[in-house]
Amino acid sequence: MASLLQQELAAVLQRDLPHLFGGGMAPSISMVKVTPDLGQARVYLSLLLGNDANERIEIVRDNAKEIRHALAKRIRKTARVVPELIFFHDDSAAYAAHMDEVLGTLDIPAAPKDDATNDEEKPTRPRLFKGE
């Protein structure tokens, strides 16, 4: 159910309701978590443009009823229940970019080469069977 909602919500935001974002790029849906009773779905939105992320999330939250209605039209023959949609901002992509930047600034010296190790002294793998 979660993957169905993720696919259909992406289509709703990009094709059915692009006017919500004023011609801008619609947010992508990074993850959907559905409660066991299918009553609620937590939808995590990934916004590539971080400057107005809070404003865009608020636009989506304010139009949740319209989004749910458009979703219901799309999945009415597949799902019996259309869950209540609760939208959250997924900032994992921004966090990953930040961590990549931090790791890029670290000065890590190269590992020292050990001259004592020859190719002949490589550890052998343990034998699993008698025939090996």
Question: Using an 8 Å Cβ cutoff, are 93 and 46 in contact?
Answer: yes
Q: Residue 2 pLDDT > 80, yes or no? A: yes
**pLDDT tens across 50-69, in order?**
567 778 888 889 999 999 99
Q: Among candidates 21, 43, 27, which has minimal Cα distance to 87?
A: 43
Q: Which residues contact 70 (CB under 8 A, 6 or more apart)?
A: 12, 16, 17
DSSP 48: S
**Nearest-angstrom CA–CA distance, 39 and 68:** 12
Residue 29 in 3-state DSSP? Answer: strand
Q: What confidence score (pLDDT) does residue 111 get? A: 83
What pLDDT was estimated at residue 97?
A: 81
CA distance 13 to 29: 9
- Give the orientation angle of helix 53-62 with respect to helix 64-75, to 10 degrees: 60
**pTM assigned to the model:** 0.67
Reference 17, options 85, 58, 63, 75; nearest CA is 63
pLDDT given for residue 85 in this prediction? 93
Q: Please determine, for residue 22, whether its predicted confidence score (pLDDT) is greater than 70.
A: yes
Overall average pLDDT of the 21-29 stretch: 77
The pLDDT value given to residue 67 = 92
